[in-house]
Amino acid sequence: MFKLKFLLPVLIVISAAVWWLMPHYSDEDKGYYIAMFCTLTHDGRDNSPQAMQQIIEGSNSDYALQKIHFQSGLAEHLQSVWQDLSVGQQQQARQDSLSCRKVMSEKLLPGKAVQ
């Protein structure tokens, strides 16, 4: 009985800490990163997380009160989703930006309509 009284609170605290430390991305952030990724892919430019970081942080003006900070975890997740797509899906996405946004949104934003 003593073990259960001790173990249960420890498990609850550990679970809460893991949930708190996990990255939580808003749908708005996901949509922004998908749009940027697909634009870079469609234009034939480098769509690596480093290229996305340069664009996102480079678009901040010096006088902006709220600067957009690059989220490397989300950019890397986009890359892994891209790698999981079939070669045909990747080719289609490279040719048509809307198609790219639809495919990537299906994976990252299930149930959300792409505009």
Q: For residue 115, what pLDDT is reported?
A: 64
21-32 residue pLDDT tens: 777 788 888 988
**What was the pLDDT predicted at 76?**
92
Sign for the CA dihedral angle at 59, 62, 66, 68 comes to positive
Note the pTM of the prediction, 2 decimals.
Answer: 0.75
pLDDT score, position 1? 60
**Position 75 confidence tier, pLDDT thresholds 50, 70, 90:** very high
> What is the DSSP annotation of 10-59?
HHHHHHHHHHHHS----HHHHHHHHHHHHHHHHTT---SHHHHHHHHHHT
